[in-house]
A and B are shown apart, each in its own frame.
Chain A
Amino acid sequence: MANKVELRYTRVSDAKRILEIMSNPNFIYTNRKTCTLDDEKEKIRTFSAKRKSGEAFIYVILFNGKVVGGCDLNVNQRTRHIAAIGYFIDEAYWGKNIAARAVRKITRIGFNELGLKRLEILMVPENAASERVAVKCGFQKEGTLRKRVYINGKLCDAHLYARVK
């Protein structure tokens, strides 16, 4: 019962907590534009339509019932058997294996519920914490892709990790 990790669909009422977590200046490896509470709420309102169309499945991560991060599956609309996984955790909860547990759950959702055949995780090479999560969850490195992701307006290389079914 102790240290329970759960995923649930993100709700508009999570907006404030998500902003609180993401406004941490230590999140240097995620591409996120600063936004207001209203922007965040507006964004969350689009999530149910994305779910219905099968485009994206966006969750908050609960640690013993408290929102401590987020985790999502973005289905590639050109090749619909492939999705990309993203995640973030409140710095106060780093080092507790929460991201890995969340990624295992979302991996199961992707393969077993959505019937996907390939899940990808991309991270900049400096993001060792994210890379550890990918390895722990059984993802394999396929390569380093040059100029693949924008981080704060700068085009960066990214490691590509994937798991297939």
Chain B
Amino acid sequence: MESEVELKLAKLSHAKRHVEILDDPNFLYFWDPPSLRQQGLSYFFSIFFGKTIVGGCGLHVNYRRKYIAEIGFFVDHDYWGRGIATNAVRQLEWLGFNELELERIEMLMDPRNSASERVAVKCGFQKEGLIRNVVKIDGNFYDALLYAKVK
């Protein structure tokens, strides 16, 4: 099954499917306001499971510290529980540490988002703390757990 998960650079033609997946009301704790993506080097991928787009993920390099990047991801609710996100994160990690020569990769998630946290733990990320007021959505500020993995 592992080999069926493939990352392809996101294309405009994937947009419809991304929106379809994210419109699912089960995405309670997913943050992706465009304002968070404006700075820095970003690599966006669609997650393919076989021939189907089942999610998206990305690596965002810190604009001031090019040795640090943050990983983000989402997977279609219908495909949860199959290790797809874990597989995608491992691929991003490989890209980050080996191709982009990163030293540190971070993952932030809503403290209630235990699914995301499980992905982080499975991929060998370690919890470093609860970061207060770090995420802004629609004028409100939220805390997030910080997980990181270092080379």
Q: Take A78-B63, A118-B141 as given contacts and tell me if A147 and B104 are in contact as well, using a CB distance cutoff of 8 Å.
A: yes
Interface contact B40-A155, CB-CB below 8 Å: no
Interface size (B, Cβ < 8 Å)? 25
| Per-position binary interface string of chain B over residues 106-144, scored 1 when its CB falls under 8 Å from any chain A CB and 0 otherwise | 000000000000000000001011111111100001000
- B150 in contact with A147 (CB, 8 Å): yes
B130: chain A residues at CB < 8 Å are 142-143
Alpha-carbon distance between A165 and B136 when the two chains are bound, in angstroms? 13
Instruction: Quote the shortest CB–CB distance from B126 to chain A (angstroms).
Output: 8
Which residues of A lie under 8 Å from residue B131 when comparing CB positions? 142-143, 160, 162
Contacts of B132 in A (CB 8 A): 118, 142, 162, 164
Residues in B whose Cβ lies below 8 Å from that of A146: 104, 126, 128, 148, 150
B39 touches A78 (CB 8 A): yes
Is B151's CB within 8 Å of the partner chain A?
yes
> When each residue 26-41 of chain B gets 1 if its CB lies under 8 Å from chain A and 0 otherwise, what string results?
0000000000101110
Q: A118-B132, A160-B129 are in contact. Are A155 and B67 (CB under 8 A)?
A: yes
A148 partner residues in chain B, CB cutoff 8 A: 68, 104
CB distance from A158 to the nearest CB of B (A): 10
Collect the chain B residues with CB atoms within 8 Å of residue A160's CB. Answer: 128-129, 131
Q: Does B101 belong to the interface (CB within 8 Å)?
A: no
Report if A81 contacts B (CB, 8 A). Answer: yes
Q: Is the Cβ of A77 less than 8 Å from the Cβ of B150?
A: no
Which of B68, B134, B148, B150 is A118 in contact with, Cβ under 8 Å? B134
Interface hub of A77, A82, A147, A150 (most chain B Cβ within 10 A): A147
CB closest chain-B residue, reference A145 = B128
**A85 to B63 CA separation, bound complex (whole angstroms):** 18
Instruction: Decide yes or no whether B2 CB sits under 8 A from chain A.
Output: no
**Within the complex, which residue of A79, A143, A147, A150 is in contact with B136, where a contact is CB–CB below 8 Å?**
A79
Cα distance A160–B130 in the bound complex, in angstroms:
10
Name which residue of chain B comes closest to A143, CB basis: B129
Let me know if B103 is at the binding interface, CB within 8 A.
Answer: yes
Other 13 A-B pairs with CB < 8 A, given A79-B136, A82-B133, A146-B126: A78-B38, A78-B40, A81-B136, A117-B141, A118-B132, A118-B134, A142-B131, A142-B146, A144-B128, A144-B129, A146-B128, A146-B148, A146-B150
Could you list which residues of chain B lie within 8 angstroms of chain A, going by C-beta atoms?
36, 38-40, 63, 65, 67-68, 103-104, 126, 128-136, 141, 146, 148, 150-151
Contact sample, A vs B, 6 pairs, CB 8 Å cutoff = A78-B63, A118-B133, A142-B129, A146-B126, A160-B129, A164-B132
The 4 closest A-B pairs by CB, nearest first: A143-B129, A142-B129, A143-B128, A118-B133
